[in-house]
Amino acid sequence: MIAVVPVRAGELPVGAAEAVAEAGGNVVLAGDGTDAAAEALTSEAPLLVRQVVCAELGSYAPAAWARRLSRRLDAEDVVILPAVPDGRDLAPRIAASLGRPLLAGAQEIRPAGAVVLRWGGLQLVELTVEGPFVATLLPGSRSVAAAPSGLVPISLAPADETETSDDGAACADAMSLEVLAPDPAAVDLAEAAKIIAGGAGLGSHDEFATLARVAEAIGASVGATRVVTDGGILGHARQIGTTGATVRPRLYVALGISGAAQHVGGIGEPLHVVSVNLDASCPMMAMADLAVVSDAAATLEALADLLGLRDGALVGEHASAEGDDD
């Protein structure tokens, strides 16, 4: 088994380490800036990685990448990509190049098939295939504990001729004219680097409208607890937790959230956690780097004022893109 992780400008996508773990620690990092991505991967999960191959393929061109990678991947029975936009784009092209079936949206990958989610995530279906296949693994499906064989020295294999040279054959790839910064309001929560979330202690529709404006101003995505989504204040897509989205932000700001196990089970391990709550001893405050004992709505209003947000207007110089320094 081997994982293929698409890399853009040295950045690993969400779900990269999980795909590597599912593949037993073997990975081809394909794209631009793969050395930096290899360093990030090995420092994120040092016991996980057994062998990394860095394939410098330049900027994103899925058809050309698939053709070049398929030569190296031909000997692998199972090829796993993370089920994120670039992985979902590249996987069917690799499968077509190799002449194999694609098992998309898997929760678990086995030597002879995969368990995939179907019917909008309501049903788990076990698929069995004869022979080699390509699969995409949903982020949040598994932990990134050490590869089954434990600690094995990392070897950084050099890319070979097939990965670095262009054989000149024509490829039907779209041309990228511009890469736009993601819109934090619309970005998939699973990929958001900064999340500002509200719970029952924040209030109702008015407070969540303010939360959306503050989130936009600081380049964060809006999240919520189940109490909020069940109450119809925000849609289910914004719910974080075991029955909602699994997220992996660097910064998580929790306003009026108690920190129930079903909620914090979905927030990963943020680098920074800020919590605002009247109860200084609730679980969310206990896990915060910065715990503010205060009324959540009043704190949010004060933050909106500091950001220069009045009557729904955004003050331009405060707006920052997702990915800015935390």
Ligand X SMILES: Cc1cc2nc3c(=O)[nH]c(=O)nc-3n(C[C@H](O)[C@H](O)[C@H](O)COP(=O)(O)OP(=O)(O)OC[C@H]3O[C@@H](n4cnc5c(N)ncnc54)[C@H](O)[C@@H]3O)c2cc1C
Binding site for ligand X (CB under 6 A): 199-201, 225-227, 239-244, 256-258, 260, 262-263, 266, 276-279, 282, 295-296
Q: Concatenated DSSP letters for 53-120?
A: EEEE--S--HHHHHHHHHHHHTT-SEEEEESSHHHHHHHHHHHHHHT--EEEEEEEEETTEEEEEETT
Closest Cα to residue 187, out of 105, 270, 232, 248?
Answer: 248
Measured from the CB atom, is 162 or 204 closer to ligand X? Answer: 204
Give the nearest distance from C-beta 3 to ligand X in angstroms.
28
**H helix or E strand, kind and range, residue 200:** none
User: Residue 69 or residue 240: which is nearer to ligand X going by CB?
Assistant: 240
Q: How far is the CB of 205 from ligand X (least distance, A)?
A: 15
* Separation between Cα atoms, residue 135 and residue 81, nearest integer Å: 6
219 versus 241: smaller Cβ distance to ligand X: 241
Tell me how far, at minimum, the Cβ of 268 lies from ligand X, in Å.
13
For ligand X, give the closer residue by CB, 203 or 219: 203
Render the burial of 48-76: b for 16+ CB within 10 Å, e for the rest.
bbbbbbbbebeebbbbbbbbbbbebbeeb
Q: What is the smallest separation between the CB atom of 174 and ligand X, expressed in angstroms?
A: 37
Closest CB 291 distance from ligand X, rounded Å: 11
Tell whether the torsion through CA atoms of 73, 76, 77 and 78 is positive or negative: negative
CB of 246 to ligand X, least distance (A): 9
Shorter beta-carbon distance to ligand X: residue 82 or 203: 203
Query: Between residues 162 and 242, which has the closer beta carbon with respect to ligand X?
Result: 242
The percent helix, strand, coil of the chain (3-state, each to 5) is 30, 25, 45
Find tokens 């924040």 and name the residue: 202
Question: Which sign does the torsion angle of CA 281, 258, 140, 122 carry?
Answer: positive
Separation between Cα atoms, residue 305 and residue 310, nearest integer Å: 7
Six token digits for residue 212: 């959306």
Structure tokens at 267: 């927030």
Q: Which is nearer to ligand X, 143 or 262 (CB)?
A: 262
CB of 249 to ligand X, least distance (A): 15
Please report how close the Cβ of residue 199 comes to ligand X at its closest, in angstroms: 3
C-beta closer to ligand X: residue 51 or 229: 229
Using CB atoms within 10 Å of the CB of residue 211, give its burial: 0 to 12 exposed, 13 to 18 middle, 19+ buried: buried
Please, which contacts does 126-130 make with residues 24 or more away whose CB atoms are closer than 8 Å?
A: 127/103, 129/101, 129/103
